[in-house]
Amino acid sequence: MVLEFPFFRKLLKKDSIINGYKILDFIGEGRFGRCYLVEKDSRKYILKELKRKYLKKKPNTVPHEREILMSLGHPNIPKLVDFIKSPKIYGYILEYIEGKTAEDIIFGDNQKFSYSEIYNIGLKLLSILEYVHGKNIVHRDIRIPNVIINGEDVYLIDFGLARYQSNRYHFSDDFSRIGDFLLYLYYSNYEVTSKKSQPWYNELSLNEDEMIFLKKLMGFLPTYEDISSVKNDFIHIYKNKSGYAKVNP
């Protein structure tokens, strides 16, 4: 089958109608596509417009991502609502999630995360990932732009790089990304005391258990075998620290 894709040059015009969805605003652009806030029947959605260059280079990604999105049914993962192919656009309609990305909160709002907040956010994210891995899916792109926080709620978005677990794609691929995500939260509280930059394990004030946990995630030590082991260690290490709140993941 030969797929033909629309050109990807100009932004879609505000107030234009695509398959019944009204373009409200341009949200942002990534490696593989652009995202817009759209509306239909008084409800808001996200339109993910896939890039023509990317689609021509990797056409098999289109049904792959669609299949993965359709297989998921978690309240903290946006649902796939519609699939669009027209002369103007090729992409998805996704459930709209209220909130801000962790990236916007850290670098836009300059929020400093307390240990309690790090624990609550981390545990909820690990619980989502436990569900994803239970579906035999590796997300492969857990980053601060792909985690939305809205009050006490945490959401994992963007499954464009997600793949089914195989000899090529491993669940452990997600562990280092979880570690990297947690380090961003830790660094939101970091006070620079030296002009010389040092590795995170020298700069951050971490106890021995936290250090070992993060080093295992990041691959400095033999890593975990599965997400349940990661989650159990996370709970064991962090739940008794002073000020940590009790949550129901």
Main-chain dihedrals φ then ψ at residue 19, nearest 5 degrees? 50, 40
Structure confidence by residue, pLDDT tens digits, 131-147: 999 999 999 999 999 99
**CATH architecture classification, 100-242:** Orthogonal Bundle (1.10)
- In the CATH hierarchy, which fold is given to the domain comprising 16-95? Phosphorylase Kinase; domain 1 (3.30.200)
- pLDDT score at 249: 45
Structure tokens at 84: 């669009």
Q: Is the dihedral of CA 57, 81, 18, 29 positive or negative?
A: negative
Question: Torsion angle of alpha carbons 223, 229, 232, 235, nearest 10°?
Answer: 20
Q: 48 among the known binding-site residues?
A: yes
- Mean pLDDT rounded to a whole number for the chain: 88
Say if residue 152's pLDDT is above 70: yes
Q: Are 28 and 122 in contact (CB under 8 A)?
A: no
Over residues 55-65, the mean pLDDT reads 66
How large is the C-alpha radius of gyration of the chain?
20
Q: How far is CA 186 from CA 22, 67, 114, 169, in A?
A: 40, 35, 8, 28
Structure confidence by residue, pLDDT tens digits, 162-187: 999 998 999 999 999 999 999 999 99
pTM: 0.88
195 residue type, one letter: K
Q: How confident is the model at residue 96 (pLDDT cuts 50, 70, 90)?
A: very high
Distance CA(76)–CA(78), nearest Å, equals 7
Q: Are 81 and 66 in contact (CB under 8 A)?
A: no
Say if residue 26's pLDDT is above 70: yes
Cα angle vertex 108, ends 106, 113, to 5°? 25
Percent of the chain with pLDDT over 90: 68
Distance CA(214)–CA(197), nearest Å, equals 19
Can you give the residue ranges of every domain in the chain? 16-95, 100-242
Provide the annotated active-site residues.
141
Distance CA(149)–CA(104), nearest Å, equals 10
Distance CA(31)–CA(175), nearest Å, equals 22
Distance CA(206)–CA(210), nearest Å, equals 6
